Amino acid sequence: QSALTQPASVSGSPGQSITISCTGTSSDVGNYHLVSWYQQHPGKAPKLMIYEGSKRPSGVSNRFSGSKSGNTASLTISGLQAEDEADYYCCSYAGNTTRVFGTGTKLTVL
């Protein structure tokens, strides 16, 4: 149950697009279409942004999109806005009710 690998930090200017990668193994990311992404602002609880790899919950901006290829999932945020600055975590189902989170990525909007 090793944590999924994410870049420690990414940054972009307002209006730009950024992509955060999430690399796992054939036992988690590569084996299930059940990757989710969470946004966490300082001092706040995480918020679901993407589920089942690429689906957006009601109320989440369509500037957020997800994809997966092999053992790597990705979150793309287009049209960056100041309020997007936060920590982002991926999470994959890993079988038998278990799951594993990513190491987390700090997004800075310049």
Partner 1 sequence: EVQLVESGGGLVQPGRSLRVSCAVSGFTLEDYAMHWVRQAPGKGLEWVSGISWNSGSVGYAEVVKGRFSISRDNAKNSLYLQMNSLRIEDTALYYCAKDWGPWGSGSLNYWGHGTLVIVSS
Binding footprint of partner 1 on the chain (CB under 8 A):
1, 3, 32, 34, 36, 38, 40, 45-48, 51-52, 57, 87, 89, 91, 93, 96-104
Smallest distance from partner 1 to CB 109, Å: 20
Cross-sheet strand order for the sheet of 18-23: 18-23, 72-77, 64-69
How far apart are CB 15 and partner 1 at their closest, in Å?
A: 28
In angstroms, give the least distance from the CB of 38 to partner 1: 7
- Paired with 51 in beta bridges are 55
Contact assessment for residue 83 and residue 39, using Cβ atoms and an 8 Å cutoff: no
